[in-house]
Amino acid sequence: MAMGLSCVLAACSTTPVGTGDLGVVIERATGTVAVVNTSQQTVLGEVTGLGDLSHASVVFSRDGASAYVFGRDGALTKVNVLTRRIEARTLQAGNSIGGAISQDGKLVAAQNYEPGGVKVFDAQTLAPVADIPAEYAPGKLSRVVGLADLPGKRFVFSLFDADEIWVADLSQDPHAPTIQKFTQIGHQPYDALVTPDGRYYIAGLFGEDGLALIDLWAPQPKARKILQGYGRGQTPMPVYKMPHLRGWAVAGRHAWLPAIGRHEVLVVDTETWQEVGRIPVAGQPVFVMARPDGRQVWVNFAVPDYHRVQVIDTQSRQIIRTLEPGKAVLHMEFTPRGEAVWISSRDANLVSVIDTDSLRTLTTLSLPAPSGIFFTSRAARMGF
């Protein structure tokens, strides 16, 4: 009985730890992720052995305790951010660039370049559930980009080489998903976003000026082009790095989007999907990311301007500050309520934590070649 009581007391003395203020930073050169605390602005520890993280992304389980890390080498790794240990790992493809987790948190999907397609796994064990080859013609597989979760145990993704968008529905039988295909959506979709309400899927087009949009709430959804010819009559600049749309740059009724091959951010009315403005910026935008309250949009750039970050006030549509946090800024991530933003500077081996009100640097963290930054608040957000 005394032993039983001592065990109870020992259990009671253990302080529970939540996951709401945790996150991970990719250390791309070493196959490592650093687990960080966003409230304390500290590094808690590291997890090694994750392979090629030169183009890595992360999604989180419903409870925020598990980070699913998608490596460039096709590895999918489940990391417990509380214990900082690998719980499961599978080498599921030859070349992969990201993934998504289903609305109910039970399925994890990886988008693959090689072999082209999407593979779906059980979120608990990483056991294979479904294989969706992106075969758009006999024997031809497309690279897959822009994978996002949709309500109803569905995933939406774009086929770069096929000029198509597919929606995979796994609600009836996860092992035999039904596929809805949208063809001729525009040339070379390169990345995409889902609006915060899950209604619109927007794919950027690398092969032409414009974007493809699908209203997923429509009785019979169709793909249509928006912002066609935004660079009409002007010589396009060389593109040094493909822009990304996964920053959910939707603030209020406006979307803020990078213009391919231009030093501009496009402002789009989400009621009409017409351009209502464009903002000249310091270089070719890579990420255009909205602060959670939508009052600011932060922009980073491709070479040779990749040491800069610009802050746009969404009310005045003016650049209010140009920051230089370090060489080779690769990613930005806002804290859950947006009072601070974390910025990785790969070549400076630095992560900067910046107050989004005063725009003052609160602290810096020394990490080797940091790239992607992902906080557990993403677990509660669609498209993340």
pLDDT in tens, 152-200: 999 999 999 999 999 999 999 999 999 999 999 999 999 999 998 899 9
- Calculate the dihedral angle through the C-alpha atoms of 242, 244, 245, 249, rounding to the nearest 10 degrees: -120
pLDDT tens digits, 306-346 = 999 999 999 999 999 999 999 999 999 999 999 999 999 99
Distance CA 24, CA 365 (A): 13
pLDDT surpassing 60 at residue 13:
no
Distance CA 116, CA 93 (A): 9
Distance CA 21, CA 375 (A): 8
pLDDT at 6: 42
Bridge-partner residues for 351, per DSSP?
Answer: 344, 365
Tell me the percentage of the chain whose pLDDT exceeds 90.
Answer: 86
Mean pLDDT (the chain, rounded): 93
Give the other-Cβ count within 10 Å of 290's Cβ.
Answer: 24
Distance CA 210, CA 201 (A): 14
CB of 200 closer than 8 Å to CB of 146: no
Alpha carbon separation from 62 to 65, 90, 101, 379 (Å, rounded): 8, 21, 9, 6
pLDDT tens digits, 75-96 = 999 999 999 999 999 999 999 9
Give the other-Cβ count within 10 Å of 175's Cβ.
Answer: 10
Distance CA 38, CA 344 (A): 14
| Interacting residues of 197 by C-beta distance below 8 A, sequence separation 6+ | 382
CB of 189 closer than 8 Å to CB of 204: yes
pLDDT at 132: 98
Distance CA 327, CA 98 (A): 25
For the four alpha carbons of 40, 42, 44 and 47, in that order, the dihedral sign comes to positive
The burial class, CB within 10 Å (0-12 / 13-18 / 19+), for 273 is middle
Alpha carbon separation from 309 to 87, 163, 279, 342 (Å, rounded): 36, 32, 14, 12
CB of 213 closer than 8 Å to CB of 201: yes
The burial class, CB within 10 Å (0-12 / 13-18 / 19+), for 316 is exposed
Query: pTM, whole model, 2 decimals?
Result: 0.94
Distance CA 311, CA 313 (A): 7
Distance CA 16, CA 126 (A): 27
pLDDT tens digits, 26-61 = 999 999 999 999 999 999 999 999 999 999 999 999
Distance CA 303, CA 258 (A): 15
pLDDT surpassing 70 at residue 4:
no
**What's at 160, amino acid-wise?**
F
